[in-house]
Structure 1
Amino acid sequence: MDLWVKIFLLGTGGNVAGEVVEVGSSVKDFKAGDKVVTLLYARSGGGLAQFVTSKENMTVIRPPEVSAADAASLPVAALTALQALTQAAGLKLDGSSPNILVTAASGGVGHYAIQLAKLGNAHVTATCGARNLELVKSLGVDEVVDYKTLDGAALKSPSGRKYDVVIHCATGVPWSTFEPNLSSNGKVIDITPGLSAFASFALQKLTFSKKQLVPLILSPKRQNLEYLVKLVREGKLKTVIDSKHPLRKAEDAWAKSIDGHATGKIIVEP
């Protein structure tokens, strides 16, 4: 069930938008010439190539209304944001109104999390650096705080709200900083969990704590990627692109990504 996809635009990891050039004998939903977006599995190699092999079960059609750059940016970041909000946090994108904090809100996952949370009618507080305050405001947040200020470092809501959910896209923030800012059943969804996050999660389960740190392990689904592409096509979700790099300078793009200060997504093009 493999597809050979020729890449005309791609992300810096396993995110790929391209054109199908060949399909496996059991592939039913795609044909040569289809414009697609796909999430590559680690064992298939990364997306920094002119041709890649992808799986049918994580590939969706890219409609003409969705640019290749926008499509290539959706996996993994937007899938992570969607799973964190709807699966780990239990947010219903149907009109409920929880209080949500998004840390590192100008990054790849954070800028999608803001928009998806607002689709769920959430009150969204965000933290980011001073240079990105206006950008984050433009994504629809209700409150934004510079993380280098005293209140930003303490994750305090300017309006004094307690958070029902934190989509934690940063690193190095201890539980003691989160805990006083959470509502009675508040959850912190850690999208890049380390061993300490899993240890805290286990301890809180054992002690029946209502406030919890929840490590997120991405389990991507094709229907979720289809949903995200649909939101982009309808103008309900947009991608912020930090920069574009030619394939011959992919190392520069990767270094910028690893540095951790990109605003939105980084794109590599052939």
Structure 2
Amino acid sequence: MAGKLMNAFCYEGYRGGAAALKKVKIPVPIPKKGEILVKVEAVSVNPADWKLQNGIMRPLYPKFPCVPLSDVAGEVVSIGAGVNDFQPGDKIVAMLNFMIGRGLAEYTVAPTNLTAKRPHEVSAIEACSLPMAAGSAFKALESVGAKFDGTGKPFNVLITAASGGVGHFAVDLAKLAGLHVTATCGARNIDFVKSLGADEVLDYRTPEGESLKSPSGKRYDAVLNCTVGIAWSVFEKNLSEKGKVIDLSPGFSSFVTVALKKITFSKKQLVPFWAKIGSKDLEFLVGLVKDGKLKPVIDSKHPFDKAPEAWAKSMEGHATGKIVIEI
């Protein structure tokens, strides 16, 4: 497909939100060694995508013009040198480098070490919702000792923002691991989060929700913090003796708290967390979806030409589950 053009959306500078996304014609990429060329069928939006546009990695990333989005599902069109595990026609799900993106286009190239085959039982829409969101939830739970093969010991976990992209997967996976789950969300999503299997659900806008106190009086052995703006002091008083807060959206204050905890030799820990996700993790998650053990919840689906609407909806911050663009 060398020399052919494709449709894509890109932005050319920091900030600007959805209005800055412009539809353009750019060359179809050519897969290099260890890469595959993918005809994109669906791609999901993560908060990290528009936060990058807002400058969280400035001045290093992104490079302009930027074709954003990193979680894609589609079909292999061609393969680069050294690729043996994939062939044209294979249905796949892949996680691109979110700082570079390139997913919001008709074609993209994906590294095989971040790609997994997708069985026909798992749709492109379901698959593209998995990499960053379900992958982060899975690796965070794994980091605090959760086991997904029935061999783990039960413990108490708190999951904040449990109706969101990462949060709803975290609840599903925590219950699969046999954990006791306390979750927070807005009032309109309480029944939804309960339907995921959460044992206790707190409305974060109430005094009880703001305190994060378990209704049954349990102390949390682990917290998956999927939101921002909660002070360490609120977490600390609800943790067990060696409880950990896994911060999936760490900011400057997180690193200050980490430093203070080290100085005071506290057994309670705050852990800034970035998931390192590989093809084996994607294979595992796709397998759970195939077997009906993990259910991606799709907040909304948007056609390719309406991609800016999906971007704007994610920026509003109230999605229940994942926002997907069909291509």
Stretches of 4+ aligned residues off by more than 6 angstroms: none
**C-alpha distance in 1 between matches for 2:152 and 2:121:** 27
Structure-2 residue corresponding to 1:140: 197
Matching residue's letter, 1:62: R
| 2:67 counterpart of 1:11 | no
Q: CA RMSD of the aligned region, Å?
A: 1.1
Shift of 1:43: 5.9
Q: Which among 133, 142, 149 is matched to residue 206 of structure 2?
A: 149
* 1:34-78 CA distance string (max 9 Å, x none): 000000114653311110011011010000111111101001000
Shift of 1:18: 0.2
Q: Which among 178, 190, 193 is matched to residue 235 of structure 2?
A: 178
Structure-2 residue corresponding to 1:113: 170
**C-alpha distance in 1 between matches for 2:99 and 2:109:** 10
**C-alpha distance in 2 between matches for 1:249 and 1:135:** 27
Judge conservation of contact 1:127–1:146 (CA < 8 Å) in 2: yes
What SS does structure 1 have at the residue aligned with 2:237?
helix
Q: Which among 92, 102, 107 is matched to residue 147 of structure 2?
A: 92
Matching residue's letter, 1:10: V
Q: Which among 114, 121, 126 is matched to residue 65 of structure 1?
A: 121
The alpha-carbon distance between structure 1 residues 206 and 222, as it changes in their structure 2 partners (threshold 3 A), is farther
After TM superposition, list the pairs within 5 Å mapping 1:22-61 onto structure 2. 22-42=78-98, 44-61=100-117
- Structure 2: give runs of 5+ residues left out of the alignment: 1-33, 46-68
| 2:311 counterpart of 1:254 | yes
What SS does structure 1 have at the residue aligned with 2:122?
coil
**C-alpha distance in 1 between matches for 2:200 and 2:192:** 12
* 1:88-114 CA distance string (max 9 Å, x none): x22233341100000000000000101
**C-alpha distance in 2 between matches for 1:208 and 1:86:** 24
**C-alpha distance in 2 between matches for 1:43 and 1:196:** 23
Judge conservation of contact 1:44–1:54 (CA < 8 Å) in 2: no
Aligned residues: 269
* 1:98-134 CA distance string (max 9 Å, x none): 0000000000000010111111110000000011111
**Which structure has the larger Rg?**
2
Judge conservation of contact 2:125–2:326 (CA < 8 Å) in 1: no
TM-score, with normalisation over the residues of structure 1?
A: 0.97
What SS does structure 2 have at the residue aligned with 1:76?
helix
Structure-2 residue corresponding to 1:219: 276
Structure-2 residue corresponding to 1:189: 246
- Percent identity at matched positions? 56
Structure-2 residue corresponding to 1:77: 133
- Structure 1: give runs of 5+ residues left out of the alignment: none
Shift of 1:21: 0.4
**C-alpha distance in 2 between matches for 1:154 and 1:61:** 43
Matching residue's letter, 2:123: S
Matching residue's letter, 2:195: S
Shift of 1:194: 0.6
TM-score, with normalisation over the residues of structure 2?
A: 0.80
Judge conservation of contact 1:7–1:19 (CA < 8 Å) in 2: yes
Q: Which among 13, 21, 35 is matched to residue 2 of structure 1?
A: 35
Matching residue's letter, 2:230: V
* 1:214-235 CA distance string (max 9 Å, x none): 1002211211111111111111
